[in-house]
Chain A
Amino acid sequence: MKTTILDLPEEELIEPGNRACAGCALGIAYRAGLKALGRDTLLVVPPSCLTVLQGLYPIAATKLPSLNVTFASTASAATGLLAALKVTGRTGVNVAAWAGDGGTSDIGLQALSAACERGDNFVFVCYDNEGYMNTGVQRSGTTPQWAITANTPLKGKMQPNKNVPAIMAAHGIDYVAATSAAYPLDLYDKIKKALTYGGVKYIHIHIPCPPGWGFEPRYAVKLGKLAVETGLYELYEIEKSQLRHTGASLKLMEKRRLLPVENYLRAQSRFKTISDAEMEKIQDQITRKWEGYFKSSEEAQGGE
């Protein structure tokens, strides 16, 4: 069932006036995500933009108990909280980890993989702003190719990004979803659905970052939507190994018309050195990928 904005719980679990940058899409995602997780939740947060958003001691922006942990240990810390809840006889409390893309796809991957293999019961959220943003915009495993970062300063990143949801799905966990801060209701529904499953549930959230990507703060949602409407970033879920598109990406399947990826890339200064040929290559990859989706969707419908 799709949640509408009228159905969202009114209780806010993140206070306004937090320390995130102007226009940060993480605030949107965190607000909706915490509503989905609910008040009976323990959070784990490694060093990341979220550490900054949550505030400086002794003031916290979050109304949920939150454990700040070392960079590599997010998933293991979530396991530790679960173990403590179990041995102290507390039930009905969710455990959720919120890590950035570096904390997930780079330094945090080993512990996350181990937790999946053990089947530990928590939600792991990767909010992906495509780089180490609060430390000054360095490249991470999910930084897209050609993006200029502090350590790919002139030519942009040479390598394509990791597909983290696919890596997570390869663990055979029951629920993997990709969503975006530009679609908070899609995000909300996915976290809600994740809570109905056991084991590690993985939620990947695309988070447009004004200072890191180079766009005006007012365009965070616009950029998030463009990423989806160009077909570059996809909203989907992999539920018990079955992949299906959701929300705006599902609509793309129906409309069969993608916006040119140039609209998205040219709106960000991090792609200012990308050549026309490189851009065309990216457009070709997206077009081919979506033609594949259209084709398999036709085949599926034809088979019915």
Chain B
Amino acid sequence: MQIIETGNVAAALGVKLARAQVIAAYPITPQTPLTEKLSEFIESGEMQAEYIPVESEHSALAICIAAASAGARSFTATSSNGLLYMHEQIQWAAGARLPLVMCVANRGVGAPWTIWNDHQDSISQRDTGWIQIYANDHQQIIDSVLKAFCLAEEIMIPVMVCYDGYILSHTHMPFDVPDSEIADAFLPPYRPPYALDPADPANLNTVTMPDGRPDVRGDISPGYMEIRHLLQHDMVEAIPALKRVEERFRSMFGRGHDPYVEPYRCDDADYIAVSLGSLSYQLHDVADALRAEGVRAGVLSVHLYRPFPDRIIAEALNRCSGVIVFEKALSYGYQGPLCSDIKSALYRYAQGKPFVTNYILGLGGREITTQDLYEALKVSCSPDGGAGEETRWIGLKIPAGGTQT
């Protein structure tokens, strides 16, 4: 069924279709309408789930962690400082190998306070052991939520579905709501490999020594490092697993998208702009404009950020001569994290070694005009586009230490 709704409603409908059983959330802008919508579904009886209003994001994820440990399909959502407040629990959920799904309506972080969009919140959770999927539009949001549960439960790793706060969370867009019967077939009820149960007691997440210790039968169990290595191993396995999920989704719903990257006019491109989230579609217009001027520009949108599909990304960028990474996040003191990741992938896999340059933009909701993108890309789409400073800022009105120009 085709409807016109906000990104938050798309996410809520995805959670409803996934039949999440336990939902715990703390209201935080801009994800608030998502959890309000879920409360509405549950109170009206449209959805069977336990909704637990909590006093903090830390508790929201605590509830999901415990509920999943006892066998319930669990969901939460947050953004910005709420996500940062969860950080300890985010690490815990991944270490405990719980198939949680969380939506993040991306937003900048304080201080100073900002409520507007950028990607610093979820990017700062990059190394926690969660899968991170970035959706570019409402259709991708609702579909990704369903796929996220499927993937998480197959490999027992939690998944974050990220989408731009306000730009996607609060805007209306048409999208198709998957048929609920097909959704049920796509995502059957959660069957946990283990659920806390008095009939089969276990002590979960207990203190684990650097080296494995013998159990009561004398068999050596894994130490902390083996357990963590398994997480890394399975994270990498999530790359092919996501493809299988995507293929199943496509065969059942008759639509889908490349789960890793979304290339636009990349086949013959000399220069490729790379970004996460809705910014990619704005870059499409800029690439078109440059193409009209005879510059062979393309755009690569990265959907799967962790695990990082490095070979796939390097192959997509391999044949061009310049890569321009546009980012709404920063590793302070260095550069945009996606830029570093892309350079690392190219170093490993690319033969031609295109130059890589980096633009930081849109922090704390600073407007990104298509004109700004056009001017930046026009400068960079040239054989010496990689010269000069590697990381530049777009849209700055007052340079550091300077005055307004």
Contact = CB atoms under 8 A, between A and B. Distances in A.
Interface of A: 39-42, 44, 51-52, 54-60, 62-70, 72-73, 75-81, 83-88, 93, 110-111, 113-114, 117-118
B147 interface: no
A303 to B, nearest CB: 42
Contact of A67 (B24, B88, B196, B208): B196
B65 to A, nearest CB: 7
Contacts of A93: 198
Given A70-B88, A73-B62, A76-B63, A64 B198 contact: yes
B62 A77 contact: yes
B204 interface: yes
A94 to B, nearest CB: 9
A114 B59 CA distance: 9
Nearest to A71: B88
B71 A84 contact: yes
Nearest to A68: B205
12 contacts: A56-B207, A58-B213, A65-B198, A65-B204, A66-B206, A68-B203, A69-B65, A80-B65, A80-B67, A81-B66, A83-B50, A111-B62
Q: Which of B49, B50, B196, B213 has the most CB of A within 10 A?
A: B196
A65 B28 CA distance: 34
A111 B197 CA distance: 24
Contacts of A66: 201-204, 206
Given A73-B59, A80-B24, A60 B64 contact: no
Which interface class (under 10, 10 to 19, 20 to 34, 35 or more) fits B?
35 or more
A39 B68 CA distance: 21
A93 B209 CA distance: 31
Contact of A83 (B22, B201, B202): B22
A80 B206 contact: no
Q: Which 10 A-B pairs have the closest CB atoms?
A: A80-B66, A73-B62, A84-B70, A76-B62, A60-B203, A114-B55, A76-B59, A80-B63, A84-B72, A77-B66
Given A77-B62, A77-B63, A78-B66, A110 B71 contact: no
A85 B70 contact: yes
Given A67-B204, A80-B66, A57 B209 contact: yes
Contacts of B62: 69-70, 72-73, 76-77, 80, 111
A272 B178 CA distance: 71
Given A39-B198, A67-B66, A57 B213 contact: yes
Given A68-B203, A83-B50, A73 B58 contact: yes
A85 B61 CA distance: 17
A118 B66 contact: no
Interface in B52-105: 52-56, 58-72, 74, 88-89, 92
B55 A113 contact: yes
B55 to A, nearest CB: 4
Contacts of A41: 198
Given A57-B221, A65-B202, A111-B55, A81 B67 contact: yes
B350 interface: no
B398 interface: no
A231 to B, nearest CB: 36
B196 A42 contact: yes
A77 B206 contact: no
A111 B72 contact: no
Contacts of B203: 54-55, 57, 60, 62, 65-66, 68
A92 to B, nearest CB: 9
Interface of B: 21-22, 24, 48-50, 52-56, 58-72, 74, 88-89, 92, 195-198, 200-209, 213, 215-216, 221
Contacts of A59: 213, 215-216
Contacts of B198: 39-42, 64-65, 93
A75 B66 CA distance: 10
A64 B202 CA distance: 7
B201 A63 contact: yes
Contacts of A83: 21-22, 24, 50, 52, 63, 66-67, 72
Contact of B206 (A40, A57, A64, A79): A57
B201 A64 contact: yes
B63 A87 contact: no
Nearest to A114: B55
Contacts of B200: 65
Given A78-B66, A80-B24, A60 B202 contact: yes
Q: Which of B54, B62, B200 has the most CB of A within 10 A?
A: B62
A6 B205 CA distance: 36
Nearest to B63: A80
A54 to B, nearest CB: 6
A299 B105 CA distance: 62
A117 B54 CA distance: 10
Contacts of B66: 44, 67, 69, 76-81, 83-84
Contacts of B69: 67, 80-81, 84
A70 B204 CA distance: 12
B206 A54 contact: yes
A223 B53 CA distance: 42
A117 B70 CA distance: 23
A81 B92 contact: no
A76 B216 contact: no
A118 B55 CA distance: 10
Contacts of B49: 87
A78 B215 CA distance: 28
Contacts of A111: 55-56, 58-59, 62
Contacts of A42: 70, 196, 198
Contacts of A54: 203, 206
A110 B53 contact: no
Nearest to B190: A88
B50 A57 contact: no
Nearest to B91: A70
B54 A88 contact: no
Nearest to B196: A65
